[in-house]
Amino acid sequence: MTHSSIDPVALTAALIRCPSMTPVEGGALSHLESVLSPAGFQCHRLKFAQPGTPDVDNLFARIGGGGPHLCFAGHTDVVPPGDAALWSHPPFGGVEADGFLYGRGAVDMKGNIACFIAAALDFLADPECLGQGSISLLITGDEEGPAINGTVKVLDWMAANGHTPTACVVGEPSNPQALGDAIKIGRRGSLNGRLLVRGRQGHAAYPQLANNPLRGLTRVAVALQSMRLDEGTTAFSPSNLEIVAIETGNPAYNVIPAAAEARLNVRFNDRHTAAGLESLIRAEAEAALAGSGLTLEARFDSNADAFVTKPGPLVETMIAAIRAETGRTPELSTTGGTSDARFIKDFCPVIEFGLVNKTIHAVDECVPVSELQQLRRIYRGFLEGYFGRLAHTVA
């Protein structure tokens, strides 16, 4: 095996040139395997499938066999680039210009993966660095998609095969303005809902012969949007409910529709559960429809509960590495959407730290070359701290 150093900029560019739009692997996982295998990582390509969903390729790679076992989690799948003509450089070109590296996935999150691998290979150049511990990478191709055949199934495979980690770092771009601004130590939960109100169809000129479901649905929407779910908690901002769509499928102006549907999303903190919010929303909606003669059908789904990783050795080691490189003390944040950390938290403590997120999913997604090198140094410092100070401590 060889632990020769690798340039995170070159590796990021090579990954960008793999057009790995969810759920297509695009060569990205194969390229990572070609880097990790010669360095001594045992690589496992894991393809998972489920009826009604696309097959997804994943990669699990591990070096060392004991504990502590630190896992780095990430995804090589990316969102579509949109109109390529709007980009300054080809979205899958991996072009370096004026100190920036351009391309879809530069920040979200191929650059973060490249920086961790570069840091790990530097770290592993010292044969004594790991002690009895081990490093692994869980890389999925399904984070930007339905998240069914990716991380959640890889984690189950890891548990079944003796690879459950002691702790995990997810390389999501966590910083709003500058590298070192924030570590994500948790996320709010997410609940989706569909509320279908049924009435009686009729002519718009004869409303007395119909029962307009939109009258009831608008009352429901106002009632739900007026709810104050909570005032926030120590670790989280207040929960919020948003109506995101109201639809009838009615193209006519002179027809009162038979039914109308609202779609909603709730981002909730640790004062709530998805089941509790479902009951609350149903009760509020039914109260708003009371006496109207309209009926309600409600459906909900959630695959993300609120969670927080309490400050401890894992968080403190990352803070120390960030402070040593940037001079900043990062905020411990729970803001933003969901990530695959929502699955990992059921197996081990998990935090998220990566690049600055200002250009993710945007035209001309790009990362300063200097920040790739800086993130590599932060990850290297974190690895030294984790396997130095924490070699005999459960993270």
Q: How far is 43 from 36, CA to CA, in rounded Å?
A: 8
Listed in order, the ranges of the chain carrying CATH 3.30.70.360 are: 190-303
Cα 311 to Cα 62, 207, 392, distances in angstroms: 26, 60, 18
May I ask the CATH architecture of the domain 8-187+306-389? 3-Layer(aba) Sandwich (3.40)
pLDDT single digits (tens) 329-352:
999 999 988 899 999 999 999 999
Where does the pLDDT of residue 216 fall: very low under 50, low under 70, confident under 90, or very high at 90 and above? very high
Question: Radius of gyration (Cα) for the chain, nearest Å?
Answer: 24
Q: Using alpha carbons only, what angle is made at residue 298 by residues 294 and 300, rounded to the nearest 5 degrees? A: 165
Where does the pLDDT of residue 390 fall: very low under 50, low under 70, confident under 90, or very high at 90 and above? low
* Tokens read off for 226: 């007026």
Please report the pLDDT score of residue 337 as a whole number. 85
pLDDT single digits (tens) 130-167:
888 999 999 999 999 989 999 999 999 999 999 999 99
CB 378 within 8 A of CB 182: no
Please report the pLDDT score of residue 226 as a whole number. 95
Q: How far is 65 from 184, CA to CA, in rounded Å?
A: 28
| Burial of 380 from C-beta contacts in 10 A (0-12 / 13-18 / 19+) | buried
What is the identity of the amino acid at 113? I
Please report the pLDDT score of residue 4 as a whole number. 66
For a pLDDT cut of 90, what percent of the chain falls above it?
Answer: 91
Listed in order, the ranges of the chain carrying CATH 3.40.630.10 are: 8-187+306-389
Please report the pLDDT score of residue 311 as a whole number. 86
Please report the pLDDT score of residue 361 as a whole number. 96
Q: How far is 3 from 13, CA to CA, in rounded Å?
A: 20
CB 378 within 8 A of CB 321: yes
Please report the pLDDT score of residue 393 as a whole number. 47
Please report the pLDDT score of residue 127 as a whole number. 84
| Average pLDDT of the residues of the chain | 95
pLDDT single digits (tens) 307-333:
999 889 999 999 999 999 999 999 999
Where does the pLDDT of residue 175 fall: very low under 50, low under 70, confident under 90, or very high at 90 and above? very high
Q: How far is 72 from 76, CA to CA, in rounded Å?
A: 13
pLDDT single digits (tens) 62-74:
999 899 999 999 9
pLDDT single digits (tens) 92-143:
999 999 999 999 999 999 999 999 999 999 999 998 888 889 999 999 999 9
pLDDT single digits (tens) 261-270:
999 999 999 9
Question: What CATH topology corresponds to 190-303?
Answer: Alpha-Beta Plaits (3.30.70)
Please report the pLDDT score of residue 389 as a whole number. 63
Please report the pLDDT score of residue 395 as a whole number. 40
pLDDT single digits (tens) 278-318:
999 999 999 999 999 999 999 999 988 899 998 899 999 99
Where do we find the tokens 């029962």?
A: 211
Where does the pLDDT of residue 2 fall: very low under 50, low under 70, confident under 90, or very high at 90 and above? low
**What sign has the CA pseudo-torsion 227, 174, 80, 142?**
negative
- In the three-class reduction of DSSP (H, G, I as helix; E, B as strand; rest coil), residue 286 is classed as helix
Name the nearest CA neighbour of 88 among 369, 364, 359, 358: 364
Q: How far is 101 from 9, CA to CA, in rounded Å?
A: 8
Q: What positions carry a catalytic annotation?
A: 77, 143
pLDDT single digits (tens) 196-205:
999 999 999 9
Beta-sheet strands, E only, within the chain: 42-50, 53-63, 69-75, 95-97, 100-102, 134-140, 167-170, 182-184, 186-187, 189-198, 202-203, 240-247, 255-256, 259-268, 295-304, 307-308, 331-333, 350-352, 366-368
pLDDT surpassing 70 at residue 183: yes
